[in-house]
Homo-oligomer: A and B are copies of this chain.
Amino acid sequence: MTRPLRPAPRSPRKPRPAVAAHKAPAKAAGTRSGKAAASKPYHHGDLRRVLVEAAFDLVAERGPETVSVREAARRAGVSPGAPFRHFESRDALMAAVAAEAQRRFRQEIATALAAVPADQPLRRFRALGLAYLRWAMRNPGHFEVISDGRLFDFDAAQGEASGLKADNAEIIDMSAQWLADASAKGLLRSADVKLMQIAGRALVYGYARMKADGHFPRWGVGEAEIEPMAEAVLDLFLAGIAKGDGPIKGRAPRA
């Protein structure tokens, strides 16, 4: 329900209704000079951040494809050309949005992992997968931005999205490490750590994308079922790679 499946038919020739009440940004004072904030200053002062916030909100409200530089400029109360003083292109703006989304996502993962002992690799692997699924499910627009291939090899280490790349590499390394640890402890049926890592990633990525892409209705999965089934799917995978027939240690069996 977070955004319409089709990006609002554009409605040509009709000036858009409402929503356009963004003339003066409600930022109130907040700028460094202690003077009266009544008259909008010529220099914005913090435009870069405001643009990223506007685009970030747009992504959450209506999905990544609907974000336009001009709309972000409108919401920030500046002219159409102004953003290009701060971002080389629309993609660069989106990369900044992706970096911000990834920052928040990373925080949630850290929180989820804090609750799991370091010496239980499979439980950590599971917690990572669950945090990934939950976050993606609850932030489909931001999940899409992060996953968009276009934004990634955006010049490799180009300052903009370098945090994005680093965070991603961290997740890749962690998951490989935990699987290797689990394997060393004799917890896994297979010794092919990379295979299990890629399969696990494909599983959670695919599930999250099915949600974001609106596939679940046609697979007969109702809205309320989606999150519980995400967990069940993850556990099915873990049970499949783990040695023995019992459920993964540390999870309550599904009633």
Contact = CB atoms under 8 A, between A and B. Distances in A.
Given A194-B220, A199-B233, A218-B172, A153 B5 contact: yes
Interface stretch (A46-54, A101-109, A239-247): A239-247
Interface stretch (A13-21, A25-33, A117-125, A201-209): A201-209
Interface stretch (A34-42, A74-82, A144-152, A177-185): A144-152
CB-based closest 3 A-B pairs: A240-B240, A206-B206, A149-B214
Given A169-B218, A198-B233, A240-B240, A213 B6 contact: no
Given A149-B214, A190-B236, A202 B195 contact: no
A196 interface: yes
A253 to B, nearest CB: 12
Contacts of A207: 198, 202, 206
Contacts of A168: 218
A215 interface: yes
A149 B7 CA distance: 11
Contact of A210 (B201, B212, B232, B233): B201
A210 B219 contact: no
A183 to B, nearest CB: 14
Given A192-B236, A201-B219, 5 more contacts: A147-B213, A149-B214, A189-B239, A194-B220, A209-B209
A159 interface: no
A236 B199 contact: yes
Contacts of A157: none
